[in-house]
Amino acid sequence: MAEEERDGVRLTSLDRPLGDDLEVTKGALVDYLDAVADRLVPLLAGRPLSIKRVRPGQAPFMQRNISKGAPDWVRTVAVWAQGAHREVHQVLCDDRRTLLWLANQRAVEFHVPFFRAGEQEPTGLVLDLDPPEGAGIDVVVRTARLVRQALEHAGLAGAVKTSGSKGLHVVVPVRGAAVEDVAAATRALAARTASLGPETATTAYIKEDRGGRVFVDSTRSGQSTIVAAYSPRIRPGLPVSFPLTWDTLEAVRPADFTVSTAPALLDDGDPWAAALPDPQELPAELVAEGHTIPVARVQAMHEGKRRKRAEREAAGD
């Protein structure tokens, strides 16, 4: 089994398959993350990290708590995990050495929150564009254009990237707003997007209510996470979340960006850093509008209960 050492990190099994049906070796993951470390680490640094790992013979799994036996130089931050009802210690990937250590752990996906450890104000929001089953990227691109239009009407600007799967992310750096206000503004922007193209886009959280339209997901802002730009995804060939430009959006094919192809497309630049606008203040009227819009997950939960109740009542008749 191939082994080597980089930056004091012992890397093992580099010639072995990374995971089941991924069509790449562990070494390919390590080489890719090392190649983009100068661009990826600044996006991860200081943020409590959620990682998705793989192991041959096992299903991929999300990990927030640091692995047992981790080196003492790996920095962590204590975070209360609401779902687990306990405190976990999440990794802070502040340097190349930590990134390489995570790569050796078969960490493939890197998910970050919109806040830094010890801070309360979000640094951004995201509109996650999820295509309907069987749809191509074209309809998602059209929806991204609608998002951009909604942003411009609100006096805001955003950057766009592939999700690393089938969709796109439009990210808007923000400043000076509380978590609840950023989440509200995201809901308002999603609603405005859907109203600009109701035949193309929807904010319906329940899948059967989307009618073959692109889902403009507003729930990834606030306390949730987003896969970082340049992060691989657990799909065959390891596609990556890759920065795009608004000028070339129509020519994009997400499958073109993988751990094998992405480094050559970057040259010496950092297109995500170049694309992101400076942090912006959210317009008060946008935030106020968003506070009148129910939280999608909560609304969907109540609607699901209502429908089940109606079905029971109908069956009783």
Name the strand (E) or helix (H) holding 311: helix 296-316
Can you read off the two tokens belonging to residue 162? Answer: 């592939």
- pLDDT tens digits, 69-84: 899 999 999 998 777 7
Confidence of residue 154 (pLDDT cuts 50, 70, 90): very high
250 pLDDT higher than 80: yes
Average pLDDT over residues 105-129: 95
- pLDDT tens digits, 223-240: 789 999 999 999 999 999
Residues 6+ apart with CB under 8 A from 74: 66, 91, 98, 101
Average pLDDT over residues 155-160: 98
pLDDT of residue 1: 67
Which string of DSSP letters, residue by residue, matches 14-26? Answer: TTSBSSTT--SBH
* Residue for token pair 């029971």: 312
131 pLDDT higher than 60: yes
What's the order of all strands across the beta sheet hosting 225-227? 61-63, 50-53, 107-113, 225-227
- pLDDT tens digits, 163-210: 998 899 999 999 999 999 999 999 999 999 999 999 999 999 988 889
CA-CA distance, 244 to 2, in Å (whole number)?
35
Nearest 10 degrees: Cα torsion 285, 171, 214, 165: -160
Confirm if 56 and 19 have CB atoms less than 8 A apart: yes
Work out the percent of the chain whose per-residue pLDDT is above 90.
79
Confidence of residue 268 (pLDDT cuts 50, 70, 90): confident
CA-CA distance, 122 to 115, in Å (whole number)?
5
Mean pLDDT (the chain) is 92
Average pLDDT over residues 112-124: 94
Lowest-pLDDT choice from 81-95, 113-127, 129-143, 264-278: 81-95
pLDDT of residue 311: 56
Confidence of residue 134 (pLDDT cuts 50, 70, 90): confident
Buried-state track 101-115, b at ≥16 Cβ within 10 A, e below 16? bbbbbbbbbbbbbbb
Confirm if 15 and 27 have CB atoms less than 8 A apart: yes
Let me know the angle formed at the C-alpha of 139 by 134 and 145, rounded to the nearest 5 degrees. Answer: 155
